[in-house]
Amino acid sequence: MFTPRHIRLGSRGSALALWQTEHVASRLRALHPDVTVETVVIQTRGDRFKDRPLPSIGGKGLFTMELEERLRQGQIDGAVHSLKDLPVDDPEGLVLGAIPARGDVADALVVRSAGETRGRSRNGLPELREGAVVGTGSRRRAAQLLARRPDLRIVDIRGNVDTRVRKTLDPAGEYDAAVLAVAGLKRLGLEARISLTLPFETMLPAPGQGALAVQCRREAKWLGFFGGIDDKETRAAVTAERAFLAELGGGCRASVGALGESGKDGADGRSSTDLRRESGLRLRGRVSAPDGSRQIDARVSGSAGKAEQLGRDLAQQVLRRGAKEIIEQITEVEIWPDENRQR
């Protein structure tokens, strides 16, 4: 088996990206104690343009393209990403060499006056004041918030995780709250800032949320090397989620949430023992109108070995139930008016 003496992992320069890359590096060192791992920091387009909402500067690929180019050129041996940042189609010559065991998949609300709202909720959200200002750079999060609380004012918020937390908690700032991924907050030791972990009925995560991905060149030696830290259960779940997104159009501007989970408690009338035996997978998906006025939800379950087909089947369900109309009606819908852009 191919085992290099030294490898280079490409990473963005944020605290969270560096944590993620070191996590992958530590997993590789545990398997290959004699291998030295170097982190190569690479700035992406998404890192350079911090004054504009993400959808307005290109969406998927903003945080990955520069790393992928360095990988193709052989300047790095692997690129570590948050899986939800990766487009659903593999770039030419590259592949997902490893998807390690997943972290927390949920989203959380960080509230400026956390002590006043902790433990209380309204429609799955804390009792924020009428017209409260909530920061998020995600159409998915914005749409699902508005579905529960159409009175909320959704305002774009950019920056790394710690920057967004700081902006939200600033007593003189404009934000009453912000939505962030639980995994990122935990990885940076900011779990105490979570006011409420949002239930999936309120906020379904992005496809691939909470998972890391190691991209490598499509070469057997690198697939074998990185494959040692691959987690089969996580890969099945995110494969189904990403297939759901791909079948819907992948780059569409609709708000898309998806969550794959190991089969539990008698899905499709089967016992949990039966599901474990056959590696069952349950998948739920949601497509929302940008203003939250309409949501299409659906669920499927089946064998984890058919994860990609489950994702496609789920997409066809929501398309038949009206998601196609939502997607076709969305062109350049703006969630954040010009005067509400980056603060």
- Cα 316 off chain centre by: 22
The two structure tokens encoding residue 203 = 């906020």
Pairing of strands 36-41, 196-197: unpaired
Q: Are 106 and 124 in contact (CB under 8 A)?
A: no
Which CA distances in Å does 273 have to 50, 73, 251, 270, 290? 49, 47, 38, 8, 40
Q: Are 318 and 296 in contact (CB under 8 A)?
A: yes
Comparing C-alpha atoms, which of 76, 95, 78, 93 is closest to residue 28?
Answer: 78
Distance from C-alpha of 73 to C-alpha of 102, rounded to nearest angstrom: 29
**CB neighbour list of residue 3: distance below 8 Å, 6 or more residues apart:** 32, 34, 35, 225
Check if 85 is active-site. Answer: yes
Tally the C-alpha atoms within 13 A of residue 36's C-alpha that lie toward its C-beta. Answer: 3
Q: Where are the alpha helices (DSSP H) in the chain?
A: 15-31, 45-48, 65-72, 114-117, 139-148, 161-169, 182-187, 220-226, 232-248, 272-277, 307-318, 324-329
Distance from C-alpha of 13 to C-alpha of 192, rounded to nearest angstrom: 24
- Which is catalytic among the residues 34, 47, 51, 85? 85
The two structure tokens encoding residue 69 = 């180019």
Catalytic residue list: 85
